[in-house]
Amino acid sequence: MRLILLGPPGAGKGTQAQRLVDKYGIVQLSTGDMLRAAVAAGTPVGLKAKDIMASGGLVPDDIVISIIADRIEQPDAANGFILDGFPRTVPQAAALDELLKQKKMKLDAVVELKVNEGALLQRVENRAAETRARGEEVRADDTPEVLAKRLASYRAQTEPLIDYYSERRSLLTVDGMMSIDGVTEEISRVLSAIGAGAKGTGKGTAKGPVKAARAPRKPAKVSRKPAGAAKKAGKKTAKKAKKPAKAARKAAKGAKKAAKRTARKPAKRSAKPAGGKGARKASKPAKKVTKRRAKR
């Protein structure tokens, strides 16, 4: 399974990523950790990144992509991975898509943890107040001021990724304001709904939002019309087929009647000579002759 977790600072991405790692046996790939590991290993890409990082500059996207390309080929990433901290911008996302395409891999899903920024700021303020109440020093990166700057940077650079992945039907949105366990359960549910993470093999492929995965109803209605048309056509064909049969029966009846009439006429004609006037006239002379003979 290959995932990206999206969400503003403080949304709980790190906590949920670790739970996914434990559940599915995949690895969490942090760009910061990968850069430091590449520098420590003295790889060609690591050496390029070393000088840039030492000067405080941002490592170019092509170097980060090269490091990710090497990292996802390692054995521990065979079951999949969660990218942490990358991509942060749309160009980085496009570069990642190209990399995965070259390696014949696909993202299973991009999970967005949707949260209320106002609530995040309130959480930080409460946490800072509790820290001070205990007499402890508040971390420099855990103040409302720092969080406000990070949120502004997220909105400007990373938030456009939501539209980017939504257009590619890879985005799954989860309510990040629930309890930690509630968010974990919801992430598991949406991943199961799209078939991602089955047995932790990474064979699932994102089909889009869970709602989009439901079978459409309209095609079923459309499919009924051809059946109706076929029935009508069948009826018409049957009617046409019946017409010649009717004509044949009529012709047969006509022939039968004609035959009967023909058979009757000769019989009547032949009967006339036997019992007609000619026969009676012919019999009269015979009777006269007989009478004359009797007188003699």
Residues recognised as catalytic: 13, 88, 127, 139, 150
- Rounded Cα–Cα distance for residues 152 and 71 (Å): 30
Contact 112, 174 (CB under 8 A): yes
Alpha helix stretches (DSSP H) within the chain: 13-24, 31-41, 44-54, 61-71, 90-102, 117-133, 144-153, 160-167, 180-193, 218-275, 277-295
Q: Which of 153, 164, 68, 74 is closest to 110 using CA atoms?
A: 164
The pair phi, psi for residue 178, each rounded to 5°, is: -75, 175
Is residue 36 packed enough to be buried (19+ CB in 10 Å), middle (13-18) or exposed (0-12)?
middle
Beta strands at 171-175 and 27-30: parallel, antiparallel or unpaired = unpaired
